[in-house]
Structure 1
Amino acid sequence: MDEILRTPQKDSRLHGPRKDHAPADGWAKRIERLKDRWSERLEGAGALKGDLALQSARVYHRMHSAVAGKPKMAPLPFLALAAVIGVAGVVGTLYSPAYVLTVDGVDVGVVQSKSVCQEIEARVESRASQILGYDYTIDHEVTYELALTKREDLTPTADVENYLFDQIGAITKAYTLRVDGQLVGMAQDRAALDALLDELAAPYVNENTIAVDYTKTVHITQEYVPSDSEQDTAAMMAALTANTNGQTTYEVQAGDTFMALAFDNDMTMAEMEALNPDIDINKLYIGQILNIKEEIPYLGVQTVDSLTYTEAIECPVREVEDDSMYQGDSKVLDEGIPGEALVTADVTYLNGVEKDREVTSSTTVREATERVIAVGTKERPTWYPTGNYVWPVYGTITSRFGYRYIFGSTSYHSGLDIAVPYGTSIRASDGGTVSFAGYKGSYGYLVIIDHGNGEQTYYGHNSQLLVSAGDKVYQGQTIAKAGSTGRSTGSHCHFEIRINGTSVNPTAYLN
């Protein structure tokens, strides 16, 4: 059948001429011309979409009309015409026109039409442009040749597209590692990328680890990517572990200062203030939450460990009244013995730092005994310490706690200098007993109040003292008048808080 389709058959057994008919070779030529005309129609877009048997029938009727009223056709021309009609019927039923697509001289496949080929090329160029990031045009030699084929033998367009993609040197098919959709790198072997992620997580995985995840969406897929994409796993690891700026929170502890926290976390004061716009940097207090800059890796590792451990059970507390103690005071009569529990918990870590702990079970091993505390009921005197400190005066802070440059040299400043007009009232920061009131070197006129539990407050450079040693003073009571005595450059109050003889930053304690 292929020979019939591709090469017209010629019959060399021709009849001689007859008086009442056209010469036999004339009929053969007419038939050849008709078959050539049929082939030309075959090359057209719609020739074979019609009924080829009908086309052949029309050829026969046209020939029959041409010899109407004449004797019957000679056997040889008749057989030739019948062959054409038979071939046309078979072709029209089993075959359809198509094009053999050739790329750089290599047959790629058979497609239905040139327009299908052009659509495939357009899709390949569009996809390649998206992958490469610039307009790409196929630079291979693409040709089409008309042919006949069975409909079921047409090449799937996806196969043709994939072949064309494989010919693009700037694009390769590989396994890619993407983080939040961003391409990190590629490898021909998926195992190399899996090993890279295992290496990233390895420092945080131990025998108790039950789950490993990442802080961003990670995908390994096989796809077409630019051939110059990163393939060095060491470079990919460097990209995954590169630090970026984030932030975390910090709870203010006793003795903390805003400046010290900034420096300890490798931040400038401006950066620290930008993260904490609503914070008064001069009035930090214990337990206050601050935002701190934190360096975090581009891809963090989150793990969950299942841990089993013992945990102390706090003693239940029972209070008993004691009228020999002031209200607010207490004394432990029996410490009690803490209990013990066997706990199982799922602990979540981010880059090795615990972020969450969920207790899944807890079994009491030993019950806790009672803790007994005596609480005072006697009326508290006004001078008795509250345990909280208020500002002794309000004004402009001209010198903070810590090292400073003054009088031509650097020195350690043990408190706060608060500038106020001469004669401004200085108040006791908390209740207590005056342990010193007088002139004391560079402090000038100084008042020291003992608040118990090893805590003292200092008030220096006063112009006038209003209390004496041994006096009981209450919180907020006026104890002196502001001045500039001692080593001073202007009217102000020098204020200190000392705990067990050591100066601490007053701003961490003042309310």
Structure 2
Amino acid sequence: MDEILHIPQERETESLPARLRAKAQAASTALRAGVVRFQHWSDAATAGGCRIVSPFHFLAVAAVVGVAAVVTSVYTPAYVVEMNGVALGTVTSPQVFEDAVDRVEARATKILGYDYTLDGEISYSFALTEPENITPTAEFETYLFDQIGDVMKNYVLTVNSQFIGAAQDQETLNAVLEQVKAPYVNENTISAEFTSGVYITHEYTASDVNQDTDAMLAALTANQNGQTTYEVQQGDTFVDIAVANGMTLSELEALNPDVDSSRIYIGQIVNVKEEIPFLSVKTVDHVTYTEEIACPVVEVEDDSMYQGESRVLDAGTPGEQVVTADVAYLNGVEQERTVLSTEVTREATNKVIAVGTKVRPSWLPTGTYIWPVYGNITSSFGYRSIFGSYSYHSGLDIATSYGTTIKASDGGTVVWSGTGTGSYWSYGNYVVIDHGNGVRTLYAHCSSLLVSTGDKVYQGQPIARVGSTGRSTGNHCHFEVQINGTAVNPLAYLG
């Protein structure tokens, strides 16, 4: 029995696959020897037709059967895999290794961008081995990948599943990401994170994959064209908005196909181009700062002033408080401010304002300006070519039909109503209204005038009719806005 179960000890210098194969072969040999011995005993017991089995024979048969049971319970059929004469491990079936080869070839093909086939002579030899010594398929795949010279294992950086670059160590990629955050981080920053999916994985790549950290940083910080909105402010023109946002006029018009660029108004929302980094950074700063406390306003009635008018009687003294807050930024632009605590260090005193109660005359200026007529703008404010020469145009030319009513853009006093003479002859019949505070409006080329000098007019009151008097090529209203005697762009004031 001892010689059947005994398996010689392997030398430690032998490889694991070799030791496994030797052990399996020894067990198989022992099993076969037991079966042969059992056959000899059986033949001896039945020689000459005698079928009497002695107790010794019975014990021998039991021993052989026991050995077989032990071997089959301890060992499992397997195959030792060799590639180019090198034993790689054991598998339960050759198909297991073939599947591993297929997976490695498919992955290498995807990485390299061309069909890749592993070279090498593969052989299998049958053996018995312990189940725990079956080689994991991942070990085969790792070995096979290591044989591919055009593929290597790297740390790979991706953003939103887009490949950025790779490096031999993860610290190199982390350093690149920290460089992206660096411009937005200061001594008050308590958190900094990316808004996109940023991942670093350890995987096989082509050997010539991008490992240039400067190129990675440039890709992560490159600007992309986004879109945001802008609210038109007083004095804005379409050209001003375009220039302020790094756009051409045609680009701004393309983003706003439904907007008449010659008729924008205060408070109008227009689309503008916005530069957005490829990888955006959200930061939160924990800050403490001093903030002014506005003076509470107390109003007292004054019947010497018109309704809507006011006068400061006591400006008061603003207070002061220390504020602690968390401020959230996106690419350095504040998005949200969360006040955590405030501590008042100086109380504010009241600001006292006298407000008028006297009934307001209809002709008093409102401070807002309406269109005097509606029509097509045939000539804008600024320089233009007319009558064969390049000259400055001090207003808007609004073309409409002959006799259309022209209305006062705002309330005020008529300071001129008549036909232009001298240097003003080109205006033909025109009206000028003084709105106070240095603001005047002018309406020229009228066919007829409906008000006289000295009249008080209210906003929207008919003051003239459209015509083509003076230096004019067709029926229209020439409309000007003057501030302290200087013509300004009417589009910045018209509502």
Task: State percent identity of aligned pairs.
Answer: 60
Deviation per CA, 1:32-75: give whole Å up to 9, x if none: xxxxxxxxxx99xxxx8xx98996698458745874437999xx
- Superposed, 1:268-283 pairs within 5 Å as 268-283=248-263
Greater shift in the superposed pair: 318-327 or 125-134: 125-134
Gap change, CA 1:240 and 1:459, over 3 Å in 2: same
Deviation per CA, 1:332-377: give whole Å up to 9, x if none: 1111111111111222222222222222211111111111111111
C-alpha distance in structure 2 between counterparts of 1:358 and 1:415, whole Å: 47
Conservation of the 8 A alpha-carbon contact between 1:177 and 1:185: yes
Question: Are residues 1:215 and 2:195 paired?
Answer: yes
Conservation of the 8 A alpha-carbon contact between 1:462 and 1:482: yes
C-alpha distance in structure 1 between counterparts of 2:48 and 2:378, whole Å: 127
C-alpha distance in structure 2 between counterparts of 1:66 and 1:132, whole Å: 70
Counterpart of 2:345 in structure 1 is: 365
Counterpart of 1:459 in structure 2 is: 443
C-alpha distance in structure 2 between counterparts of 1:215 and 1:304, whole Å: 13
Q: Which amino acid aligns with 2:459?
A: Q
Gap change, CA 1:98 and 1:200, over 3 Å in 2: same
Give the unaligned 5+ runs of structure 1.
7-41, 74-79
Gap change, CA 1:148 and 1:458, over 3 Å in 2: same
C-alpha distance in structure 1 between counterparts of 2:392 and 2:41, whole Å: 121
Conservation of the 8 A alpha-carbon contact between 2:4 and 2:67: no
Question: Are residues 1:203 and 2:183 paired?
Answer: yes
Question: Are residues 1:472 and 2:456 paired?
Answer: yes
Counterpart of 1:483 in structure 2 is: 467
**TM-score, normalised via structure 1 length:** 0.82
Counterpart of 1:166 in structure 2 is: 146
Greater shift in the superposed pair: 431-440 or 186-195: 431-440
C-alpha distance in structure 2 between counterparts of 1:71 and 1:338, whole Å: 123
Shift of 1:414: 2.6
The secondary structure found in structure 2 opposite 1:283 is coil
Gap change, CA 1:236 and 1:409, over 3 Å in 2: farther
The secondary structure found in structure 2 opposite 1:374 is strand
Counterpart of 1:227 in structure 2 is: 207
Q: Which amino acid aligns with 2:344?
A: T
C-alpha distance in structure 2 between counterparts of 1:72 and 1:226, whole Å: 75
Deviation per CA, 1:156-188: give whole Å up to 9, x if none: 222122222222333321111111121100000
Gap change, CA 1:71 and 1:447, over 3 Å in 2: closer
Greater shift in the superposed pair: 380-389 or 281-290: 281-290
Shift of 1:84: 8.1
Counterpart of 1:346 in structure 2 is: 326
Q: Which amino acid aligns with 2:363?
A: W
Gap change, CA 1:375 and 1:139, over 3 Å in 2: same
Conservation of the 8 A alpha-carbon contact between 2:416 and 2:431: yes
Deviation per CA, 1:254-286: give whole Å up to 9, x if none: 111123322443434453244334544343222
Greater shift in the superposed pair: 416-425 or 495-504: 495-504
Counterpart of 1:290 in structure 2 is: 270
Counterpart of 2:103 in structure 1 is: 123
C-alpha distance in structure 1 between counterparts of 2:389 and 2:369, whole Å: 32
Deviation per CA, 1:272-329: give whole Å up to 9, x if none: 2443345443432223332210122211222221221111111111111111111111
C-alpha distance in structure 2 between counterparts of 1:228 and 1:148, whole Å: 43
Conservation of the 8 A alpha-carbon contact between 1:103 and 1:142: yes
Conservation of the 8 A alpha-carbon contact between 2:401 and 2:466: yes
C-alpha distance in structure 2 between counterparts of 1:123 and 1:2, whole Å: 42
Counterpart of 2:156 in structure 1 is: 176
Question: Are residues 1:374 and 2:320 paired?
Answer: no
Question: Are residues 1:267 and 2:267 paired?
Answer: no
C-alpha distance in structure 2 between counterparts of 1:68 and 1:116, whole Å: 51
Q: Which amino acid aligns with 1:254?
A: Q
C-alpha distance in structure 2 between counterparts of 1:4 and 1:252, whole Å: 95
C-alpha distance in structure 2 between counterparts of 1:501 and 1:217, whole Å: 59
Counterpart of 1:445 in structure 2 is: 429
C-alpha distance in structure 2 between counterparts of 1:482 and 1:71, whole Å: 139
Gap change, CA 1:348 and 1:211, over 3 Å in 2: same
C-alpha distance in structure 2 between counterparts of 1:245 and 1:238, whole Å: 16
Counterpart of 2:87 in structure 1 is: 107
Counterpart of 1:21 in structure 2 is: none
Within the candidate set 228, 235, 241, 1:248 is matched to 228
Conservation of the 8 A alpha-carbon contact between 2:46 and 2:52: no
Conservation of the 8 A alpha-carbon contact between 1:417 and 1:494: yes
C-alpha distance in structure 1 between counterparts of 2:320 and 2:494, whole Å: 39
C-alpha distance in structure 2 between counterparts of 1:500 and 1:106, whole Å: 97
Equivalences, count: 467
Gap change, CA 1:507 and 1:63, over 3 Å in 2: farther
Shift of 1:2: 11
C-alpha distance in structure 2 between counterparts of 1:352 and 1:207, whole Å: 14
Counterpart of 1:301 in structure 2 is: 281
Q: Which amino acid aligns with 1:462?
A: C
Q: Which amino acid aligns with 2:406?
A: I
Counterpart of 1:258 in structure 2 is: 238
Gap change, CA 1:379 and 1:3, over 3 Å in 2: same
RMSD, aligned CA: 3.3
Question: Are residues 1:415 and 2:395 paired?
Answer: yes
The secondary structure found in structure 1 opposite 2:264 is coil
The secondary structure found in structure 1 opposite 2:300 is strand
Within the candidate set 382, 396, 399, 2:376 is matched to 396
Q: Which amino acid aligns with 2:441?
A: T
Question: Are residues 1:337 and 2:317 paired?
Answer: yes
Deviation per CA, 1:175-211: give whole Å up to 9, x if none: 1111112110000011111111111221221111111
Q: Which amino acid aligns with 1:365?
A: T
Counterpart of 1:499 in structure 2 is: 483
Conservation of the 8 A alpha-carbon contact between 1:426 and 1:482: yes
Give the unaligned 5+ runs of structure 2.
9-23, 54-59
Conservation of the 8 A alpha-carbon contact between 1:97 and 1:149: yes
Counterpart of 2:296 in structure 1 is: 316
Greater shift in the superposed pair: 116-125 or 86-95: 86-95
Greater shift in the superposed pair: 231-240 or 269-278: 269-278
Q: Which amino acid aligns with 1:318?
A: V
